[in-house]
């Protein structure tokens, strides 16, 4: 590759990569999900509390009229009282909407990305105020997609509003001759139907945008095979990983017989080094070193291999190379060919032995 050996980014991001991105505040999130949820939640609260809000507004109206007729000269104290009543009425009529809007904003964000607290997104960064980078951000695919979504929502909202009011324009016009409550009921029904249609459209857009944001996030953070190898090498220095590996090594050392019993082949050189390899092709992982030893330990491994019928292959160079690995390590790429030849030989040997046993049984019959 012409990118410094990094390779083409074709691999899905690893859990470690996603964890680091999350620590930096880089997570897949759809603002349309939050907007649609808040719109529906506030709409439901307004619909449910409308009688209460109307009652509070009427109380304020009556008090305002009473104050204006009682104190014609309107001293400063009356003006202050009027302002206090106006603020109190505003608080009573909006508190439910504000609380629901605040709670939904938190709940919908947590539902998308989980609990996350990080200062990285607001940490001062000179690249963020670089005018060249700013211009680049204005002309990227994400901005184009957001612009297209905004235009689509505006067109759909306008079309639905035109359709809704076109159908009831006659009824709304005739409300001039009706009493106040009949006019409010007609207008309220129009707004109710309109909001239901708009909420449905917003929900559809939100679901589509949520799926798009997650797919885009995974695509933008793909890794090359080189990146994955580098990450693996860096993770080798992780104390937790070292501790887990040491614990696994200790378990394998304490139970060499069970480790050899589960092995596919034992490679020796010729008697003072023995390495047991296990290969499971179901999970696509490379062969793993499950037991190793020299001298007396090697003799025990070979004895266990004979006891459990595990094939033993003599290969001096491969045995030396495998002995450099730790217990639980997967074999490196440079040993794939040599190990694959041995595993193929063992597999063919086992197949021919089964065929021979089957032929012997038929001959006896």
CB-based contacts of 101: which residues, under 8 Å, 6+ apart?
38, 41, 42
* DSSP-based three-state secondary structure for 277: strand
Q: Could you state, in chain order, the average pLDDT of each consecutive group of 10 residues for the chain (365 residues)?
A: 56 83 84 89 86 84 77 66 82 89 90 77 61 61 80 85 78 71 74 84 89 88 80 62 58 59 83 84 76 84 86 87 84 84 82 66 52
According to DSSP, the residues that pair with 11 across neighbouring strands are 223
CA-to-CA separations, 176 to 54, 171, 173, 183, 228, in angstroms, rounded: 20, 10, 6, 8, 72
Rounded Cα–Cα distance for residues 112 and 121 (Å): 18
Query: Model pTM greater than 0.75?
Result: no
Alpha-carbon distance 87 to 295, whole Å?
89
By C-alpha distance, which of 343, 262, 248, 270 is closest to 304? 262
| Separation in Å, CA 28 to CA 18, 22, 25, 140 | 10, 9, 10, 17
Domain extents in the chain: 15-225, 246-364
Q: What sections of the chain are H helices per DSSP?
A: 15-23, 31-70, 76-113, 131-138, 141-174, 180-220, 225-235, 239-254, 256-261, 296-308, 316-323, 336-364
Architecture per CATH, domain 246-364, reads as 3-Layer(aba) Sandwich (3.40)
Predicted local confidence at residue 191, as pLDDT: 80
């Amino acid at each position: 590759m012409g990118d410094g050996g990094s390779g083409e980014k074709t691999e899905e991001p690893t859990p470690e990569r996603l964890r680091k991105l999350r620590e930096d505040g880089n997570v897949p999130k759809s603002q349309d999900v939050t907007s649609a949820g808040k719109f529906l939640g506030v709409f439901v609260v307004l619909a449910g509390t409308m009688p209460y809000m109307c009652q509070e507004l009427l109380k304020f109206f009556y008090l305002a009229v009473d104050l204006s007729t009682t104190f014609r000269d309107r001293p400063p104290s009356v003006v202050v009282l009027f302002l206090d009543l106006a603020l109190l009425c505003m608080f009573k009529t909006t508190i439910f909407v504000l609380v629901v809007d605040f709670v939904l904003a938190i709940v919908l964000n947590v539902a998308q990305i989980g609990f996350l607290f990080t200062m990285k997104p607001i940490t001062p960064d000179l690249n963020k105020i670089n005018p060249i980078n700013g211009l680049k951000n204005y002309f990227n695919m994400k901005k184009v997609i957001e612009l297209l979504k905004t235009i689509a929502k505006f067109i759909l909202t306008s079309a639905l509003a035109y359709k809704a009011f076109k159908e009831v324009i006659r009824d709304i016009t005739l409300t001039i001759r009706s009493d106040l409550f009949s006019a409010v009921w007609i207008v309220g029904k129009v707004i109710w139907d309109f909001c239901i249609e708009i909420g449905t459209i917003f929900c559809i857009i939100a679901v589509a945008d949520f799926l798009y944001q997650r797919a885009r996030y995974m695509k933008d953070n793909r890794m090359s095979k080189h990146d994955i190898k580098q990450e693996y090498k860096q993770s080798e220095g992780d104390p937790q990983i070292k501790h887990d590996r040491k614990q696994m090594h200790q378990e394998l050392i304490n139970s060499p017989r069970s480790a050899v019993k589960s092995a596919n082949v034992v490679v020796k050189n010729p008697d003072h080094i023995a390495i047991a390899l296990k290969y499971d092709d179901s999970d696509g992982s490379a062969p793993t070193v499950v037991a190793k030893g020299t001298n007396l330990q090697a003799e025990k491994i070979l004895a266990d291999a004979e006891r459990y019928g595990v094939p033993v292959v003599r290969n001096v160079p491969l045995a030396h190379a495998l002995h450099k690995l730790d217990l639980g390590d997967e074999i490196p790429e440079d040993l794939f060919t040599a190990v694959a030849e041995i595993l193929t030989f063992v597999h063919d040997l086992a197949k021919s032995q089964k065929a021979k046993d089957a032929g012997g049984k038929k001959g006896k019959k």
